[in-house]
Chains A and B, each alone.
Chain A
Amino acid sequence: MKKILRLSLISLFLSFIVMPIAVMLVWVFAVRWAYPNLLPTSFNFSRLSMIISEYKAIQNSLLIGCISSMFSVLSALPVARALAFAKFKHTKLINILILTPVLLPQISGAIALHRAFLWLGLCDTLIGVVLAHAIMSLPYSVRILTDGYIGIGMRNEEPARDLGAHGLTLFRTITLPLLAPAIFAAVSFAFVISLGQYLTTLFVGGGRFITLPLVLFPLIQNGERGAGAAFASVFVLCGILFCSLLGRSMRHQSINFNGNKNYR
């Protein structure tokens, strides 16, 4: 009895997650679905060609996503290591400073970035948009990598250090293989964050760089359900890809964390 109650409650909540997505996926293929019909009256695949016709936006999104996520993770690696292992007084303050893009409200952050990039002269440039996305994903990269470093601990490096390895060699042979799941998680998450940036791309890019969110946003504003569903499903598919690839590595990470937590 208790088990049935538990299962039915779980299904209720999970269907709240899944049902809107399912409805949206039907909208992708529905060409005529007027109120009050419960099912569309005509289906076809024409919307898929609509998605493909916006290949420039998809290209921009992918390009900016890849570059900004890699830059974000590369910038975050040294800092994450320092936050994980270095013992110095101001780690709390540094942590808060790095978390600033997440702590400040979304609209404040977007306007702040716009002002900063105007001053830097990087508005309306690709580099500007990439850097802006990297800034927004940096707190998450640092956090994921810091947890990763804490999880692997320093004990694997010390023997190698005693034998003479240091710097890049040490990183490449010892740290990198151990940190790989965390790095993969950080890059993927930074990519997903970059993919979903709207205000940032709009302000810093000045409308010159059309990415997927900039295509989708006006469609939603105008209530274009079908076209909106088509592009939104790209995001949902990326999300599903992310979740299925990463669920596993995050689980492994929590096991590692518990195992090595007390050793520094």
Chain B
Amino acid sequence: MKFLLFIPCTFLISVFILGFCDVAAQSIDFYGDPTLSYYLQIGEEFISSLFYTFHVALSSSIAATLIGICLGILLFGSRPVFEKLLMLPIVVPHFVAALLMFNLLSNSGILARIFGDLPTMVFDKYAIGAIIAYIWKGFPFVALLVIASLRRFDFQLFDASRSLGASSLRASFDIILPHVSRSVITGFILLFVFAMGAFEIPFLLGASSPRVLPVMAYSYYTGADENLHRISMAICVLLSIFSLILILPMLRNEENS
């Protein structure tokens, strides 16, 4: 009887998972003539796209994590209004973040008006605008994780090490940082995996060539050619496998803590 209550949730999640199974099946043309050819057709653009995607995701995640750790430690114990401010970039959608960075960083943006000549940061091959947009969205998230982690920390350990002679800096590194590192690594992996698969920011701010893998999948999927649809699903499957490989071990670790 009680199982009835679980039906809506089960329905929703099954729809999603079955949808993904369909994507995987279509990518190998399971219902027609099963073949791996669509994976092979992804072609040379795939390699340059993969590196571009990697570059955007890795740079932005590392930078966001480092800035987030600093800010989290700095803001720990201060007034609640700062935490509320930190939640704002998390709650704002990605395309809004893209617009914000466009206003700031484009050739006729605010920074260009203040500082004169700046290198191209939008639609460029280093994707600086996209990276900064991801950083803007990402560092408050890491900062909040750090603050939450510090709340669970027993500061008596810190005082104990200080009383045994460790300097403030030394104690921070040896005692606080390892405790915080678990949340930080979780945050980093989440940011990285999200950036690898996300579409909105690179579509709006990134270059059109090379383009990020999710953007490539999007353009193929929204075209008219059926073949391209299957190729885009193949890209999706690859991206999904990549994300799962990175996230699942982290989830297992988290449960064991």
Q: How far is the CA of A27 from the CA of B103 in the complex (A)?
A: 9
The answer to whether A96 touches B251 (Cβ under 8 A) is yes
User: Which of A99, A114, A247 gathers most chain B CB within 10 Å?
Assistant: A247
The answer to whether B87 touches A112 (Cβ under 8 A) is no
Given contacts A114-B19, A198-B95, contact A243 B84 (CB under 8 A): yes
The answer to whether A9 touches B70 (Cβ under 8 A) is yes
Q: Which of A204-255 contact B (CB under 8 A)?
A: 213, 216-217, 220-221, 223, 225, 228-229, 232, 235-236, 238-240, 242-244, 246-248, 251, 254
**Residue A52 interfacial (CB < 8 Å):** no
Given contacts A79-B6, A220-B98, A247-B83, contact A38 B197 (CB under 8 A): no
Q: How far is the CA of A228 from the CA of B205 in the complex (A)?
A: 14
Contact of A100 among B13, B78, B93, B108 (CB under 8 A): B13
The answer to whether B87 touches A243 (Cβ under 8 A) is yes
* Least distance between A159 CB and chain B CB atoms (Å): 21
Q: How far is the CA of A101 from the CA of B197 in the complex (A)?
A: 12
Contacts of B94 in A (CB 8 A): 196
User: Can you name the residue of chain A whose Cβ is closest to the Cβ of B68?
Assistant: A13
Given contacts A134-B12, A135-B13, A220-B102, contact A236 B197 (CB under 8 A): no
Q: Fill in one digit per residue for B173-204: 1 if any A CB lies within 8 Å of its CB, else 0.
A: 00000000000000000000110111110011
The answer to whether B84 touches A115 (Cβ under 8 A) is no
**Residue B40 interfacial (CB < 8 Å):** no
* Least distance between A140 CB and chain B CB atoms (Å): 11
**Size class of A's contact patch?**
35 or more
Given contacts A20-B103, A232-B99, A236-B96, contact A107 B85 (CB under 8 A): no
* Least distance between B192 CB and chain A CB atoms (Å): 11
The answer to whether B8 touches A75 (Cβ under 8 A) is yes
* Least distance between B202 CB and chain A CB atoms (Å): 11
Contact of B74 among A9, A16, A35, A192 (CB under 8 A): A9
The answer to whether A246 touches B87 (Cβ under 8 A) is yes
Q: Which of A72-107 contact B (CB under 8 A)?
A: 74-76, 78-79, 82, 92, 95-101, 103-107
**Residue A127 interfacial (CB < 8 Å):** no
The answer to whether B100 touches A108 (Cβ under 8 A) is no
Q: Total contacts A to B, CB within 8 angstroms?
A: 238
Contact of A104 among B108, B140, B199, B243 (CB under 8 A): B243
Contact of A38 among B20, B113, B193, B214 (CB under 8 A): B113
Contacts of A183 in B (CB 8 A): none
Given contacts A92-B252, A198-B200, contact A103 B247 (CB under 8 A): yes
The answer to whether B5 touches A20 (Cβ under 8 A) is no
Q: Which of A7-35 contact B (CB under 8 A)?
A: 9-10, 13-14, 16-21, 23-24, 27, 35
Q: Fill in one digit per residue for B51-85: 1 if any A CB lies within 8 Å of its CB, else 0.
A: 00000000000000001001100110010111111
Q: How far is the CA of A125 from the CA of B193 in the complex (A)?
A: 31
* Interface residues of B, count at CB 8 A: 83
The answer to whether A97 touches B93 (Cβ under 8 A) is no
Contacts of B196 in A (CB 8 A): 105
The answer to whether A135 touches B17 (Cβ under 8 A) is no
Q: How far is the CA of A107 from the CA of B195 in the complex (A)?
A: 11
Q: Which of A53-76 contact B (CB under 8 A)?
A: 71, 74-76
User: Which of B110, B194, B221, B232 gathers most chain A CB within 10 Å?
Assistant: B110
User: Can you name the residue of chain A whose Cβ is closest to the Cβ of B246?
Assistant: A103
Contacts of B139 in A (CB 8 A): 13
The answer to whether B248 touches A111 (Cβ under 8 A) is no
Contacts of B125 in A (CB 8 A): none
The answer to whether B23 touches A111 (Cβ under 8 A) is yes
Q: A interface vs B, CB < 8 Å?
A: 6, 9-10, 13-14, 16-21, 23-24, 27, 35-38, 71, 74-76, 78-79, 82, 92, 95-101, 103-117, 119-120, 131, 134-135, 138, 142, 192, 195-196, 198-199, 213, 216-217, 220-221, 223, 225, 228-229, 232, 235-236, 238-240, 242-244, 246-248, 251, 254, 258
Query: Can you list 18 A-B pairs, Cβ within 8 angstroms, ordered by A?
Result: A18-B85, A20-B101, A23-B104, A36-B113, A79-B6, A99-B251, A100-B16, A105-B196, A105-B198, A105-B214, A107-B198, A111-B233, A111-B236, A116-B16, A217-B95, A235-B92, A247-B81, A258-B151
